[in-house]
Amino acid sequence: MTDTHSSTDKPGPIVTFYRAIPESFAPMRADRGALGVIPTAAFQYCEALTSASAFGWYLFSPMTFYLQWDGTDVIWTHDDTDTWYPLTMEHFPNFAEYFDGLVPDDIKGYAPPFLSRSFFPGVVQIWSGLFVKTAPGWSLLLRPPVNLPRSQAYECYEGIIETDRWFGPLFINLRLTATDRPIEINHKKPLFQAQPLLRETYSEPNLRSFAVVDELSKLSPVDWNGYRETIVKPNRGHYRDVGRYAASVRKRGKHAPSAEPTD
């Protein structure tokens, strides 16, 4: 029998981003140093912090613009105009015409909006200018950028989208919190972060699969041995190895099995 799969075949990407708005920014792989804001010692020794920071991709607004909320109404503007406009639903400048010139006839007129105001007070939806699709069984968690300083003027809602079954615009919802000043959304700063999740990791059976040991006296010898390795042994010596956990994780990573063919 002939093998129909070549030894050079490679699996497709877990996530595929599609640039719809020509001016939109490509996703950026998230940075272990959180774009340099993590202290040097933490970057070198705290593997938990750097691994979380690097998990996923940064997404950006396709343009810099400004929002202002008075507690009831939202208005917006951008650098190419001197006027503030009431926000209901807005397309990216010239995008609707661009979209209609490229899409099949039955899709004309259905360009996704760049900005939309929700019926919830102070909630605005912002489109990254990208479409997204994931491999079967994979979803995306959309959340604020990990370990980057957050604006005091708005908050990002988090959400999980089954992007293997739902193909469409990649957006984030913001809840505006400042009513006393314009709020800048800068296209040069990550607006949100996308993280890949296997659907089974947040399935109800798995989330129900947990246990609680409610007394210290009920820890097993195996548990105490783990505690000795993690806490007791590193603190017995006069000098404690800094970054021991980080070094062990990185060592395991270097010796992890490769997904690439070896023959």
pLDDT in tens, 131-174: 999 999 999 999 999 999 999 999 999 999 999 999 999 999 99
Query: Cα(72)–Cα(70) distance, rounded to whole angstroms?
Result: 5
Regarding whether 128 and 189 lie in a shared domain, the answer is yes
Instruction: Provide the token pair at 57.
Output: 């991709």
Regarding whether 171 and 56 lie in a shared domain, the answer is yes
Partnered with residue 196 across adjacent β-strands are 140
Identify the pLDDT of residue 2: 43
Regarding whether 218 and 189 lie in a shared domain, the answer is no
Regarding whether 122 and 244 lie in a shared domain, the answer is no
Regarding whether 49 and 141 lie in a shared domain, the answer is yes
What is the residue type of 31? Answer: D
Identify the pLDDT of residue 1: 41
Q: Of 37, 27, 32, 28, which is closest to residue 148 (Cα–Cα)?
A: 37
Which of 23-26's residues contact partners 24+ apart within 8 Å by CB, and which partners? Answer: 23/62, 23/63, 23/92, 23/129, 24/60, 24/62, 24/128, 24/129, 24/130, 25/60, 25/62, 25/129, 25/187
What stretches in the chain show pLDDT beneath 70? 1-9, 238-263
Regarding whether 91 and 218 lie in a shared domain, the answer is no
Query: Cα(114)–Cα(21) distance, rounded to whole angstroms?
Result: 9
Identify the pLDDT of residue 245: 57
Identify the pLDDT of residue 244: 58
* Predicted model pTM: 0.84
**Which residue range(s) make up the domain with 25?**
15-206
Total tally of structural domains belonging to the chain: 2
Task: Please say whether the beta carbons of 145 and 58 come within 8 A.
Answer: yes
